[in-house]
Amino acid sequence: MFPERFSNLPAYAFPRLRALLDVHAPGGEVVHMTIGEPRHAFPDWITQEIAAHAGGFGKYPVNEGIPELLQAAGDWLGRRYGVALDPATRLMALNGTREGLYNAMMALCPEAKRGGRPAVLMPNPFYQVYMVAARSVGAEPVFLNATEDTGYLPDFGSVAPEVLDRVTVAYLCSPSNPQGAVASREYWAQAIALAEKHDFRIFADECYSEIYRDTPPPGVLEVAAEMGADPERIVAFHSLSKRSNVPGLRSGFVAAGPESIRQMRQLRNYAGSPLPMPLQHAAARLWSDEAHVIENRALYARKFDRADEIMAGVPGYAGPRAGFFLWLPVEDGEAAALRLWQETGVRVLPGAYLAQEAGGVNPGKGFVRVAMVAPEDETVRALTRLRACLYG
């Protein structure tokens, strides 16, 4: 009666965390540092923008995105990465990037490759939608452990050639969730060259691209353009959730080659959930404004500077280059998260909940993920308690 392809999915991270922690009382003021839900203020003018276009709630939304939104997204790509893409044929609006990361697999992954089951490469740990999307199309998820030895990014070049020949899609998140690692221009170029050699697509999840400490992370689109790569080889995803502190707006976009966009739009005509028109207008204005993004980035930078001070001397600690998570080394992530909750009231996520066992190990087991999304004073208090509890 039920499909077998989902029968062995692991419990999702946050219900699993609640089962671990909520049977115990917190040991202090509760501070949530588990989910990557931005808590900085979004621009005041967003509510005014939505109100100004509230009449659009009475209309069915434009499926692929209103022209104003697509143009704003295209203009932002030009300013940020120096690439010129035709918004009408190279972009599509998304109801959050999770929708796109999942449905792009439905639209673009073939049923077989070279007579065999398609394979999908993904980092490990990873955003869980990658695995579920692969299983939904009957593909084999191939987990590549992203550890300190690999710079916390997947080593695509380590994959056996016979597996690479079956690969249809490689997911890559840069800056990475949870480690905050950044793919260099050289890394992107090597990945693109490998994709061209073995004929697969790169799904680039770049939703943390605007939260960085020093240098803007390079993007897959700019490197692909410099290489003259086939535009159909690259599918890039961007979001307003982290950039603009509006996770509830559910607005992102995908950039890809014209035929990839056509295929995704066709599927979305049947199975998509377009963003309401007033929210599309709000999103267009957000992509057009950079001042609030600069202010937001500065708030995170101050918190990471404080984290470096508090965690100084912790063996294995390394402040992330980008994103808004700390990836803290511990002996056992579950035990550390439980102890921290029972003794201090601070909630963090065991790293193993974000990974799968591959090569006989779960690369997240010896870590906890800490979301640095709370206001600075709250974050500092929580990190001080965390340091004392877990590291002495």
Q: 3-class secondary structure for the chain?
A: CCCHHHCCCCCCHHHHHHHHHCCCCCCCCCEECCCCCCCCCCCCHHHHHHHHCHHHHHCCCCCCCCHHHHHHHHHHHHHHHCCCCCHHHHEEEECCHHHHHHHHHHHHCCCCECCECCEEEEEECCCCHHHHHHHHCCCEEEEEECCHHHCCCCCHHHCCHHHHCCEEEEEEECCCCCCCCCCCHHHHHHHHHHHHHHCCEEEEECCCCCCECCCCCCCHHHHHHHHCCCHHHEEEEEECCCCCCCHHHCCEEEEECHHHHHHHHHHHHHHCCCCCHHHHHHHHHHHHCCHHHHHHHHHHHHHHHHHHHHCCCCCCCCCCCECCEEEEECCCHHHHHHHHHHHHCEECEEHHHHCCCECCECCCCCEEEEECCCCHHHHHHHHHHHHHHHHC
| pLDDT tens readout for residues 204-223 | 999 999 999 999 999 999 99
**pLDDT value at 194 more than 90:** yes
Whether the model clears a pTM of 0.75, i.e. scores above it, the answer is yes
Residues 208, 19, 14: CA angle, nearest 5 degrees: 15
What pLDDT band is residue 7 in, cutting at 50, 70 and 90?
confident
**pLDDT value at 251 more than 90:** yes
| pLDDT tens readout for residues 259-276 | 999 999 999 999 988 999
86-96 per-residue burial string, b: 16 or more CB within 10 A, e: under 16: ebeebbbbbbb
What pLDDT band is residue 3 in, cutting at 50, 70 and 90?
confident
Angle between helices 45-52 and 277-288 (to 10 degrees): 140
Closest-CA residue to 364 (of 337, 324, 392): 337
Residue 8 structure tokens: 């062995």
What pLDDT band is residue 4 in, cutting at 50, 70 and 90?
confident
Residues 169, 101, 199: CA angle, nearest 5 degrees: 15
Region 121-135: what's the mean pLDDT?
Answer: 96
Half-sphere exposure of 197 (CA within 13 A, CB side): 12
Q: How far apart are CA 277 and CA 261, in angstroms?
A: 20
**pLDDT value at 53 more than 90:** yes
What pLDDT band is residue 316 in, cutting at 50, 70 and 90?
very high
